[in-house]
Chains A and B, each alone.
Chain A
């Protein structure tokens, strides 16, 4: 692809803290290379703000290679920007052309309060995982992988669900601010494997309870989450979660 430089008009959400009302600020950035990533464009802007003695824009990021789930920007009406199956850190400026206007907002959901600017508090997800998204039974020493036969289909489906990086884009895209795609991925990847079996019922019941407590909305199967998920987590995991939950809540010991 041909390399080019561009000037862009940014409209970025600025907010001092969770109690602040917040506002949009306009920035003009010049000399942005088409080979930069979206976050590198923000780095360039922040360097400039620092030299001008202004407050840089706070945004979350860590791995910058699409695996940690920290980056979280709602760009021109879509979490993680215009590319399909992609995180913001992997979005490159060649997606834009000279003179474009880009509106950047934080994830919006009561369960994800803004900490500062584009940074939101996603610890609600951690608490959902803490409520049961793990295996606590003793498994002893590492055994030979082939000693536990698992059907290929199930292993694949479990792996696909385990791809979820917990970024929260699904919540940000959902009109109900529902966390069901995230939760369904966390429940499904364990429910499909023999290792997840011992705590299967307890897990789903307590994770759903924690999700409701955190203030996420209820799923109405619209499909917006699946379309924005950087890891292509399938909507059918939600139906699987519903099945797991129905059976568990009817038959769990407590």
Chain B
């Protein structure tokens, strides 16, 4: 769980970086998503990225399977429960709800794939041309997708789930890998909370800023 989790965390950084290019349209009035499309196209056309993509799917799959196996395994270890629950003494609700949070993220991911990945890879996306080079207009696809309020709400909820998942997962991954040095543990837990607030926030701002028309 730790290894696959850390891999997915690095993926999130790259993913966020590429997507953040959409805000170029805010600063350069005649960008209209050009920078974002080029960045997405650049990622999509690199052989190396395609290879990593296979690995990414493998890791997502592994992470999910392992996650459910772990949840079921651990649930099975206390056949008779307590009358009075131990509750949240010493642990956070999100630390105890990783299976549930993971499921919410998975549901979000499926819808997210249907929105972007499937069209981009299989069913086709409208194209644009920049100085003679044709590419998918992912920017336009995002604009149309994020016109619907329910989609925006769903993405924001997805991001919140991701935030809480990471708030526990980030630190936990390093503990699982054996980091026990006090200074590093303090540093990593700070970094973990920062990451799990900033990254989902930046992601959540994408559909919001499209819906509100900040990005055109």
Interface residue ranges, A against B (CB under 8 Å): 11, 22, 24, 74, 76-78, 103, 105, 108-111, 173, 175-178, 215-218, 220-228, 235-240, 242-247
Contacts and interface: CB of A to CB of B under 8 A. Distances in A.
A105 B84 contact: yes
Contacts of B132: none
For chain B, the bracket of interface size reads 20 to 34
Interface string B173-216: 01111111010010000000000000000000000000000000
Contact of A220 (B76, B86, B90, B98): B98
B185 A108 contact: no
Given A220-B74, A222-B92, 19 more contacts: A11-B83, A103-B83, A108-B80, A173-B86, A175-B74, A176-B77, A218-B73, A220-B98, A221-B175, A221-B176, A222-B96, A236-B180, A236-B185, A239-B174, A239-B176, A239-B179, A242-B177, A243-B180, A247-B178
Interface of B: 70, 73-74, 76-87, 89-92, 95-96, 98, 168, 171-172, 174-180, 182, 185
Given A175-B86, A176-B77, A220 B178 contact: no
Nearest to A77: B84
A231 to B, nearest CB: 15
Given A110-B77, A177-B74, A222-B96, A239 B175 contact: yes
A234 to B, nearest CB: 9
A186 to B, nearest CB: 16
Contact of A177 (B78, B96, B98, B182): B78
B84 A109 contact: no
A78 B89 contact: yes
Chain A binding surface, main DSSP class: mixed
Contacts of B172: 220-221
Given A224-B89, A236-B185, A242-B177, A216 B82 contact: no
Contacts of A239: 174-176, 178-180, 185
Contact of A105 (B82, B96, B168, B171): B82
B78 A221 contact: no
A221 B73 contact: no
Given A175-B96, A177-B78, A242-B178, A224 B86 contact: yes
A109 to B, nearest CB: 6
Contacts of A215: 77
